[in-house]
Amino acid sequence: MSRPDAAGVDPAWLPPEAFRALGLRRTLIRGAGPLVDTVRGEVANACGRFGGRLVEDGGSPDLLLEVADSQRGTGSEGFVFARDGGTTTVTASDARGLLYGLFHVVRLGEAAFDGESPRETHRPATALRMLDHWDNVDVHPVMGQVERGYAGGSLFWRDGRARGERERIRAYARLLAACGINAVCVNNVNVHDAEARLLTDRIGEVAEIAEELRSYGIRTHLSVTFAAPIVLGGLPTADPVDAAVRAWWERAVREVYAAIGDFGGFVVKADSEGRPGPFAYGRSHADGANMLAAALAPYGGTVHWRAFVYDHRQDWRDRTTDRARAAYDHFAPLDGEFAGNAVLQVKHGPMDFQVREPVSPVLGAMPRTRLALEVQATQEYTGQQRHVCWLGPMWSEVLRFRLQEEACVGETVRGGIVAVSNVGDDPFWTGHPLAQANLYTFGRLAWRPDADPLRILDEWIALTFPAAPERLAAGLHRVLGGSWATYEKYTAPLGVGFMVQPGHHYGPSVDGYEYSPWGTYHFADRDGVGVDRSAATGTGFAAQYAKPWSEIYETPGTCPDELLLFFHHVPYGHVLHSGKTVIQHIYDTHFEGVEEVAEALWVWEGLADLVAPARHARVAERFEEQLRCAREWRDQVNSYFLRKSGIGDERGRAVY
């Protein structure tokens, strides 16, 4: 059993001091099996450090951790927590629940052992809480080691093979289990030749990774290419209704489960951005997904079929084509046609993980299909982990959003909640140490989508900096709590999106994608800015929503300010609900955003005496870059719109 810091990297939200309250107690553990052994090892390590001890039956424990048949009502991962008569108890129907119960005690700290506590039942709202790693086995000439990765190389792969750093992988699994994540896909959804072979002759490398992840209750998934029967099997076709193709997949799946008995399933990107898929054979996405689902079904596996399908060779002159419409147009007509173990994985917005988008209408349009919500923890469009941008409030808004009156998104995604991982081989895991908060928050919100994200933030602060003085806790809360809103202020305004440098997506380029084939336009001209997506005069995207949202989004007068330019092309003098004109909002928010970054840097500098020097220096260096980049965003965006509109800043500030 690894000690908390045995991997030689930052312990993140599991530093040894976070286990002090647990390690001071006498603990009795009842149960058997590998995961119970993991629990026992965690407790033994804590006791060895802080002076407590494991006791046998017949003693009088301070903490009882028990697997008990009587708790079957909690589900396979739930647990019951209680404190009565001086003993704190955690009981679960299986070892997974016991593991999560242990980390619940760690989060509570001394509060877990104070006073009396009535029985509390804890169970995850979603059965699958997964991270998708966009890791490449080989270093790709364009995408690098990790596509959209901002924290170094892959934890799993290096120099074309598995890294074999089992202790590091186990430390990673431990962090994930402590925040409630229970599944990991270990390779890129853009599957190249080396990644394709993981399915067959290189499955042993995946099995080694799965062994370490399994030690903390995490199931391994694999991204596969739809063309695998051609690429790997030598068949002339990958047609999903072809008998030979189906037989090939059945054999491949059988061999995967022979190597990894608890394998979770496949993640598939098909007919998207050049990836192969069923369209080549005149088949539907349901045909493609169901073929893989049938191969996985005998073993309890699941296929996660991504709904990110759109025309990436759009003519920018054609205003009738709208990338935002694509997922709904492709998939909503297929509702009810997907197999029970096929999950449609839907990005939270209709475009591509922008700092502000409406919730995807697909999430409310397919009641007979298992849907999974996909968010992006890696900060592709939100500062690439060079900027502080805590995404908890964004994800919470999506999860709480009611596309239909009877249920919010967090209650309708029966297929799970998935995040694109923000982790690499950086000593701080996420490159920017404060970006660890995004990974932790994702896990906790996936477990309980209605949780208050600010409370989760405070929970992360308390774990990561145990016994921190109030000045540090308050400073971290101040720096992180409003950082998403700050990032939005100095980047693309009012939901219009993108305006980034093409390709790598870092830094401002207002027209960077304006005349490209990617469908990511803002249509700014001398008269106004924004995309008309109304049903009356635009692309009709607004009509993909059920009422009342179709009506709210249809007109500028009812559309929320923060999404105005996503749904409408309006004059620069259009007055927002806030009372400001569009052009003045652009000026004001971009100046405010820079000021807020400068203030956050000032706060961080004032915490130097309370934070480890290496961590403080890394964050300070990232803040300096964030401030430089925020100024660049401010000056380029404001200058662009001054020149387009001819309307100056009413406050007379310098616009270049």
Continuous segment of H or E residues that includes residue 157: strand 157-158
The active-site residue out of 380, 488, 554, 562 is 380
Handedness of CA 528, 533, 537, 542 (dihedral sign): negative
**Residue position matching structure tokens 């109304």:** 534
DSSP-H helix ranges across 85-133? 95-108
Distance CA 188, CA 149 (A): 11
Q: What is the 3-state secondary structure (H, E, C) of 407-464?
A: ECHHHHCCCEEEEECCCCCCCCCCCCHHHHHHHHHHHHHHHCCCCCHHHHHHHHHHHH
Look up tokens 């616009």; give the residue: 655
256 near 205, Cβ under 8 Å? no
- Pick the catalytic residue: 17, 352, 425, 532? 352
Tokens of 71: 């708790």
Q: Is 380 a catalytic residue?
A: yes
356 contacts 488 by C-beta, under 8 angstroms: yes
3-state secondary structure of 54: strand
Q: What angle, 0 to 180 degrees and rounded to 10, lies between the N-to-C axes of helices 203-214 and 166-179?
A: 50
Helix axes 613-645, 582-605, angle to 10 degrees: 160
CA 374 to chain centre: 7
Q: Tokens 């607004």 appear where?
A: 542
Angle at 456 between CA 432 and CA 468, to 5 degrees: 70
Nearest residue to 426 via CA among 2, 136, 8, 1: 8
Could you give phi then psi for residue 282, rounded to 5 degrees? 70, 20
Helices (H) and strands (E) in the chain, counts: 20, 20
DSSP readout, 160-202?
A: TEE---HHHHHHHHHHHHHHT--EEE-S-SS--HHHHGGGTTT
Q: Per-residue b/e over 68-77, b at no fewer than 16 CB within 10 Å?
A: beebeebbeb
Contact 362, 342 (CB under 8 A): no
Strand partners, 223: 267
Looking at residue 333, the DSSP 8-state letter turns out to be G
Q: How far apart are CA 644 and CA 528, in angstroms?
A: 8
Measured from the Cβ of residue 470, the count of other Cβ atoms closer than 10 Å reads: 7
Half-sphere exposure of 428 (CA within 13 A, CB side): 19
Q: Taking Cα atoms as reference points, which of 566, 599, 561, 552 lies closest to residue 579?
A: 561
Catalytic residue among 120, 193, 201, 273: 273
Virtual CA dihedral for 548, 551, 556, 557, nearest 10 degrees?
-70
- The residues near 495 (Cβ < 8 Å, ≥ 6 apart) are 354, 356, 357, 358, 562, 563, 564, 565, 566, 567
Helix (H) or strand (E) holding 222: strand 219-223
Question: Is 273 a catalytic site residue?
Answer: yes
Closest Cα to residue 480, out of 440, 521, 426? 440
CA separation for the pair 402, 286 (Å, rounded): 26
Strands (E) in 316-424, as ranges, are: 342-347, 371-376, 416-420
Residues designated catalytic = 273, 352, 380
